[in-house]
Amino acid sequence: MFWHDFDFCSAQLRALPAGALWWGDAKLLCVSDLHLGKSERMARRGGQLVPPYDSLETLIRLKDLIDQHDPETVICLGDSFDDLTAGQRLDANLLQLLATLIAGRKWIWITGNHDPGPLDIQGSWLAEFKQDGLTFRHIAQDTSEAGEISGHFHPKASIRGRRRPCFCYDSRRLILPAFGTYTGGLRASDPVIANLFDSTARAVMTGTKSTVIPLRAA
């Protein structure tokens, strides 16, 4: 199947192969770790110089999903900008594209460790957001209540030598893959991630279709 549908704390969710989460009953689209402006931040801090088209590519992929699903609410789960300066330095074309995507929707920016404070960009800036028993935040909490949805770890899984970003979930917790173009990742079976989940946890790999494997085999 091209996507993976699953029940999570009484919500019917869909892990999309592009790396976004769709909650159809709420008309809600959720993405994590866009890291907009990463190429600018790398150049500014004397890092590796990479083609400066990552933000545009990321937003075009997000636009495609918004065009397909027409969400009423969009949640960006933190680290939407690679740092606050990168957010402030987005060029006018990117800001116009963002404004077009945001227009007419409830748009929620969850603050992350890269973007801990609000920027002068439309939308609501929140530490976390709750709706119908689900809690959206940037980093998973060890003592979290059931229904937590987060990002931060950029989980990836491998199967037959193919390594892809992945969703990780069990009955209580869900972690989204990074959506940004220039984002690395941590193997989902690494204890830093795996220890957050129980033995039933699954990894849902992104790509042309969603492949589901046991998380501890990822």
Q: Read off the pLDDT of each residue in 77-84 and give the average, rounded to a whole number.
A: 88
Residue 114 has a pLDDT of 86
DSSP, res 87: H
Instruction: Report d(CA 176, CA 192) in Å as an integer.
Output: 15
Q: Which residues contact 208 (CB under 8 A, 6 or more apart)?
A: 2, 17
Name which of 182, 218, 216 is nearest 39 in CA terms: 182
Does residue 49 surpass a pLDDT of 60?
no
216, 193 in Cβ contact below 8 A? Answer: no
Confidence of residue 198 (pLDDT cuts 50, 70, 90): very high
Q: Percentages helix, strand, coil for the chain, rounded to the nearest 5?
A: 20, 30, 45
Q: Read off the pLDDT of each residue in 37-56 and give the average, rounded to a whole number.
A: 66
The helix/strand/coil state of 23 is strand
Q: Read off the pLDDT of each residue in 8-37 and give the average, rounded to a whole number.
A: 96
Q: Which residues contact 92 (CB under 8 A, 6 or more apart)?
A: none
User: What is the tens place of the pLDDT at every residue in 54-71?
Assistant: 889 999 999 999 999 999
User: What is the tens place of the pLDDT at every residue in 135-168?
Assistant: 999 999 987 789 999 999 999 999 887 889 999 9
Instruction: Report d(CA 126, CA 78) in Å as an integer.
Output: 9
The helix/strand/coil state of 144 is coil
What is the total count of domains within the chain? 1
pTM of the model: 0.93
Does residue 91 surpass a pLDDT of 80?
yes
CATH number at residue 123: 3.60.21
List the domain range (segments joined by +) for residue 93.
4-217
Q: Which of residues 45 and 201 earns the better pLDDT score?
A: 201
- Four-point Cα dihedral 69, 75, 79, 83, nearest 10: 100
Does residue 205 surpass a pLDDT of 80?
yes
The mean predicted confidence, pLDDT, of the chain is 91
